[in-house]
Structures are given as C-alpha cells and as structure tokens.
C-alpha cells in the first residue's frame, strides 16, 4: 500500500469513526431528553426502526448499502434472532429504569468476560494470562461500582442480569446461525430484516404494557421541537449502522471495540455534565478499572485454536443493541432521584 493510499485509508476511517461516535453519543442524549416528553420507550424504538426501513431501501437501491433480493425464507430464518433482540430490549425497558447509567455500562462490560469464558469452553478459544487478568479487572471494576450504586434493587438487577445474558447469547448464536442460513444476503439486508420484523414485536410490547393507545395519541400532541428530536434520533440510529458497516470493511474489530469503549466513557461524562449524575471516588475507581480491563482485553491479539465460522456484519446489530442498552437508561427519571 502506497503512502497516498495509506493516507486515504486513514482519512476514511477517521471520518466514519467520527460519524459513529457523534451518532452514538447524540442518540443517548436525545433518547434521554425524549423520555421526559414521550415516556414510551418501546414506541420510540419502533419509530426509529420503522424510520430506518425506507432508508435501507433507498440506500440499497442507490447501491450505497447493497442488499440482495428480499426472500420470505430469509425473513423466517431471521425471526428467532429478532425475537431475542426484542426480548433484550424488553428486559431493558422493564429493568434498566431501576438502575443507574453507570451500572448499565459496567454490566455491559461484563459481556466480554462471559463471552470469553463461553468461547474458551465451547469453541476452544485459548486465553492467555493477560486475557484472564483483563477479564478479572472488568469483573472487579463492576463489583467496585456496584458497592456505591444506591439504585440497586432486586427487580432491577434481575432484569439487568437477564439483559446481560441475552447480550452474550445473541452475537454468539447469530454469528453461527445467520452465517449458515443467510449466506446469500448482505449485512445491510440482514439488518433490514431485523428492523422490519422488530416493529410489530415492539408494538406488541407496547400493547402488553397497556400504553399503545396512549402512546399513539400522545405522539401527535408533541411539540414541533420534540418531533424534530425524534427525527434526529431516527437519523442517528440509522447512521450508526451505516458507519459500522463501512468501518467493518476498512478497520479491525479491535479498533471498533476500542472506539466503542471511548463512546461509553464519553457517555458517562455526558451523564455528569447534562444530567447531574455524580460518582464518588470508589465508583470512579471501579469504572476506570473496568474500562482498563476492556482496553487491555480488546487490544491483545488472540488466535482461535480451531477455525471459527466467519464473522458477519450482523454484529452491527449488536452495536445497535449496545446503544439501546445505554439509551433505554433514559427511562430512568433523574428528576425522581433528585426529589428523593
């Protein structure tokens, strides 16, 4: 690769990292703000996913995000993983409002620990001493922060543990299941299937929560500025997927993982600046230790002992879920905390 090509490569990566970072942080802040005016998270996610459908079609038609022909069989194959995805969102909606944003992020950082253990046991991924130390640091950091998180509750932690379990399970299953079942579909097409199938499922959740009619009526009473916030959040949610799609083509997964860690840290900083959330010294130490473990784990090169199934860009959906996990924390009313 020539010097000119390297420079062009670096410029493209920087641009798409900037798009992904701005979209990620903006989506968190927007959903946090929307929760005060439109407290119906299932409907918000349904609107965002519904909005992405014509955008995916337009992007596919213009060959920006190519999609192969839509097939009914593909939709049927996508149902199980989409159902798991919606269940993950439901656990967020039901439980994450009972815990703080920092605990949500720390618990998400336990996902590599569980994933590494599963891959080590079932998929013969050999972990080094550094890997074990990194994973232990992630766990210890989570424990440290939990000691200072006064929003813990049995209900909240139960839903959060279930949410974490699904966060571990879904990418492992998808990488093997969808790779074999949807070999002739592009990543954009797979994301299109998921978003399309998730909309009616999310509407069912809204119905089961008893607020489907209320959320529909309330939406049309929102101010123009709130409608604009909804529109921008839809664009941010869609652009995350676009940025990830291009980044996966030009940079490594490790680079993306490190960038995601930076986005999480920025989100924590935003929670202090925008919403007045404070951390004591032990909590800060726990957060730093946990993120230090994440950085150490993701920057260490590892090779599986046996050949693993090829990764698919369906992991972009996992990125979307990761954002939702943080965004759903917008349901947590900081106003109620201050009143207490």
Q: How far apart are CA 191 and CA 206, in angstroms?
A: 22
Let me know if residue 313 belongs to a domain: yes
Let me know if residue 62 belongs to a domain: yes
The per-residue pLDDT for 315 is 44
Let me know if residue 223 belongs to a domain: yes
CA-nearest of 331, 290, 318 to 145 is: 290
Domain count, the chain: 1
Task: Dihedral sign for Cα 266, 269, 274, 279, please.
Answer: positive
Q: Is the pLDDT of residue 338 over 80?
A: no
CA-nearest of 195, 199, 277 to 242 is: 195
CA-nearest of 280, 339, 27, 332 to 152 is: 332
The per-residue pLDDT for 337 is 47
Let me know if residue 217 belongs to a domain: yes
- Give, in degrees to the nearest 5, the angle at Cα 204 between 29 and 322: 35
- When pLDDT is averaged across residues 159-187 and rounded to a whole number, the result is 77
The per-residue pLDDT for 330 is 44
Residue pLDDT, tens place only, 82-116: 898 888 877 876 665 666 666 666 677 677 667 76
Cβ pair 306, 124 in contact under 8 A: yes
Cβ pair 97, 331 in contact under 8 A: yes
- Please spell the DSSP secondary structure of 17-55, one letter per residue: HHHHHHHHHHHHHHHHHHHHH---HHHHHHHHHHHHHHH
- Percentage of the chain lying above the pLDDT 90 cut: 11
The per-residue pLDDT for 297 is 73
- Residue numbers of the domain that contains 200: 3-99+119-125+146-249+307-332
Cβ pair 53, 195 in contact under 8 A: yes
The pLDDT-based confidence of 26 (bands split at 50, 70, 90) is: confident
Burial code of 200-210, b = ≥16 C-beta within 10 A, e = fewer?
ebbbebbeebe
- Give, in degrees to the nearest 5, the angle at Cα 172 between 170 and 174: 65
Let me know if residue 281 belongs to a domain: no
Let me know if residue 20 belongs to a domain: yes
Q: Is the pLDDT of residue 229 over 80?
A: yes
The pLDDT-based confidence of 288 (bands split at 50, 70, 90) is: confident
- When pLDDT is averaged across residues 331-335 and rounded to a whole number, the result is 47
Other Cβ atoms closer than 10 A to 80: 14
Average per-residue pLDDT for the chain: 75
Torsional class of 63: left (φ above 0), alpha (ψ -120 to 50), beta (otherwise): left
Let me know if residue 322 belongs to a domain: yes
Q: Is the pLDDT of residue 339 over 90?
A: no
Residue pLDDT, tens place only, 129-146: 787 788 788 778 777 766
The per-residue pLDDT for 295 is 76
Q: Is the pLDDT of residue 240 over 50?
A: yes
Q: How far apart are CA 304 and CA 229, in angstroms?
A: 44
Round to the nearest angstrom and report the end-to-end CA distance of the chain. 60
Let me know if residue 263 belongs to a domain: no
Q: Is the pLDDT of residue 24 over 50?
A: yes
pLDDT, greater one: 1 or 201: 201
* Proportion of the chain in helix, strand, coil states, percent, rounded to 5: 80, 0, 20
């Amino acid at each position: 690769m020539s010097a000119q090509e390297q420079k062009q490569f670096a410029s493209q990566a920087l641009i798409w990292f900037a798009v992904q970072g701005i979209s990620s942080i903006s989506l968190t802040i927007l959903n946090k703000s929307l929760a005060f005016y439109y407290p119906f998270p299932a409907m918000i996610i349904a609107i965002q996913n519904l909005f992405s459908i014509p955008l995916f079609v337009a992007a596919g038609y213009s060959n920006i995000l190519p999609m192969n022909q839509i097939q009914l069989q593909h939709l049927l194959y996508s149902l199980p993983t989409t159902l798991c995805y919606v269940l993950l969102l439901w656990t967020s909606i039901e439980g994450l409002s009972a815990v703080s944003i920092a605990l949500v992020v720390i618990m998400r950082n336990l996902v590599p620990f569980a994933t590494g253990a599963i891959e080590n046991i079932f998929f013969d991924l050999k972990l080094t001493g550094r890997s074990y130390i990194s994973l232990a640091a992630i766990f210890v950091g989570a424990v440290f922060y939990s000691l200072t998180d006064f929003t813990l509750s049995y209900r909240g932690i139960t839903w959060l543990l279930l949410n974490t379990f699904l966060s571990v399970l879904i990418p492992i299953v998808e990488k093997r299941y969808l790779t074999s079942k949807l070999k002739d579909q592009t990543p954009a097409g797979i994301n299109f299937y998921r978003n399309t199938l998730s909309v009616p499922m999310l509407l069912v959740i809204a119905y089961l929560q008893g607020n489907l009619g209320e959320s529909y009526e309330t939406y049309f009473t929102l101010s123009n500025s709130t409608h604009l916030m909804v529109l921008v959040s839809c664009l941010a949610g869609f652009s995350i997927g676009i940025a990830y799609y291009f980044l996966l083509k030009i940079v490594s997964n490790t680079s993306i993982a490190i960038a995601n860690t930076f986005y999480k840290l920025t989100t924590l900083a935003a929670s202090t600046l925008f919403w007045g959330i404070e951390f004591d010294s032990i909590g800060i130490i726990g957060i730093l230790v946990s993120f230090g473990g994440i950085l150490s784990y993701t920057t260490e090169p590892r090779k599986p002992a046996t050949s693993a199934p090829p990764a698919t860009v369906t992991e972009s959906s996992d990125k979307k879920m990761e954002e939702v996990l943080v965004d759903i924390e917008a349901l947590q009313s900081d106003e109620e905390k201050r009143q207490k």
